[in-house]
Amino acid sequence: DQQVKQNSPSLSVQEGRISILNCDYTNSMFDYFLWYKKYPAEGPTFLISISSIKDKNEDGRFTVFLNKSAKHLSLHIVPSQPGDSAVYFCAASTDSWGKFQFGAGTQVVVTP
């Protein structure tokens, strides 16, 4: 049972424009959310996080928004750069052990 869903398998965006990646979850007990970026043949690398007590967290070009009532989070990348081309995963956790469930990922392609 997939409790974390990324319904868009791919996204193409022009360099300099905004990339918006979406993630939905079904478990209302999730209280911590992460976004990861993954290049081919490498492990996922941590991008940005948000806890359930916040609705927005910003780090440079990356902003994560959390809508608890809709059980939805999104990642905004502004401006998009060619190096942002990668697979992006959202992940969520309910417990203090750091046990995360991951979405299926969204492949982002940034075109010149």
Question: Phi and psi for 82 in degrees, rounded to 5?
Answer: -55, -35
- CA–CA dist 18, 80 (Å, integer): 6
Question: Phi and psi for 70 in degrees, rounded to 5?
Answer: -95, -5
- CA–CA dist 68, 32 (Å, integer): 11
Closest CB to other proteins among residues 79, 102: 102
Contact flags string 90-109 toward other proteins, x per CB under 8 A:
-x-x-xxxxxxxxxxx----
CB of 80 to other proteins, least distance (A): 23
- CA–CA dist 16, 76 (Å, integer): 12
Stretch touching other proteins by CB under 8 A, among 14-22, 37-45, 57-65, 67-75: 37-45
Provide the residue count of the chain.
112
Q: Which amino acid is at 65?
A: F
CB of 17 to other proteins, least distance (A): 27
Contact flags string 45-84 toward other proteins, x per CB under 8 A:
xx--x-x---------------------------------
| Residue carrying structure tokens 């969520």 | 92
**Quick check: 41 binds other proteins (CB under 8 A)?**
yes
Interface residues with other proteins (CB under 8 A) are: 31-32, 34, 36, 41-46, 49, 51, 89, 91, 93, 95-105
